[in-house]
Amino acid sequence: MDIDLITNILYAMIRTGTPLLIVALGELVCEKSGVLNLGQEGMMLMGAVVGFIVTLLSGSLLLGFILAMVAGVLMSLIFGLITMELSANQVATGLALTIFGTGLSAFIGSEFVGKPIEGLDPVFIPVLTDLPIIGRMLFGQDLIVYLSFILFGAVYWFINYSRPGLVLKAVGENPHAANAIGLPVFKTRYLAIIFGGAMAGLAGGYLSLAYTPLWAENMSAGRGWIALALVVFASWKAERVLLGAWLFGLASILHLVFQGLGFAVSPNLLAILPYLATVVVLVILSSNQTRSRLVAPMSLGNPFHARG
């Protein structure tokens, strides 16, 4: 395996893992507040279709990405209102949100299927891009990939070193105790839900505006579910989310790598690996005892009722 092939594999790994990293960071913050939102897939698709349509009609990629995030936020607010105000089951509401987002995005985007746009170009950083192996991998990407690095650093610092991050974790561990000492439980959870929606919308926008600059139904291809599993794999730690997203990105392109190397392995078999891992993790997550050992937020998935 020559250096050029390794460089191309690493470049594709980061690029493929970027939407996973972005949506997983949003879900990480959301789950840290004790809210389990399974609607990532639907929010990503809405972000993808809205961002694509806006960019196609306006010619502005920036406006497309902004409104993709707005679409994700609006979808997340539907989830927030139903689960926070009506105390509905978070799992059922999240699943309904995914179904709703999948259907609505297909309906809205039916007239725009297959229409190409000019996506994001790579931004090469002088000197750094020329470094062997890691140069193109880290410094020859598009702006959203660089933004994902910044988002990771911001989320890592927020959760581990900021006072609002401590409030977030307190709310996720024991919302009643947090409420008793005057912490804003509802506000914290709403903001976490909104952030998760914005990141899902941005990830969806990346798919339709940069990764494959076109719109196709169900183009997220299960990435929202993979992101949910990724948060569990990472034991709710931001640094592990980063590593896991890139590893999932590598797993997603393994069938192309093995084909390029000439190995006679079924590409369909390799392509299912990320989804198989997702199913296994979701089964593990269903066990409360196992979830506790994985250091999940104690109130994850449980509604909060303020006691007057």
Q: How many domains are contained in the chain?
A: 1
pLDDT of residue 15: 94
List of the chain residues with pLDDT < 50: 308
Q: 230 lies in which domain range?
A: 3-116+124-293
Q: Which amino acid is at 206?
A: Y
pLDDT of residue 308: 47
Question: Secondary structure of 214-240 in the HEC alphabet?
Answer: CECCCCCCCHHHHHHHHHHHCCCCHHH
pLDDT of residue 250: 85
Question: Quick check: is 211 in a domain?
Answer: yes
Tokens of 119: 């996506």
Q: Is 113 helix (H, G, I), strand (E, B) or coil?
A: strand
pLDDT tens-place string over residues 105-118? 999 999 999 898 98
Question: Quick check: is 10 in a domain?
Answer: yes
Question: Quick check: is 306 in a domain?
Answer: no
CATH of the domain at 271: 1.10.3470.10
pLDDT of residue 275: 74
List Cα–Cα distances, 157 to 82, 121, 237, in angstroms.
30, 29, 11
pLDDT of residue 5: 79
- Residue 113 has phi, psi (to 5 degrees) of -65, 130
The alpha carbon dihedral of 168, 171, 172, 173 has a sign of positive
pLDDT of residue 160: 95
pLDDT of residue 233: 81
Spatial separation of the C-alpha atoms in residues 200 and 193, rounded to whole Å: 11
Spatial separation of the C-alpha atoms in residues 91 and 224, rounded to whole Å: 14
Contact 303, 185 (CB under 8 A): no
Question: Quick check: is 303 in a domain?
Answer: no
pLDDT of residue 248: 85
Q: Is 120 helix (H, G, I), strand (E, B) or coil?
A: coil
Question: Quick check: is 305 in a domain?
Answer: no
Question: Quick check: is 298 in a domain?
Answer: no
pLDDT of residue 267: 66
Strand partners, 113: 215
Question: Quick check: is 302 in a domain?
Answer: no
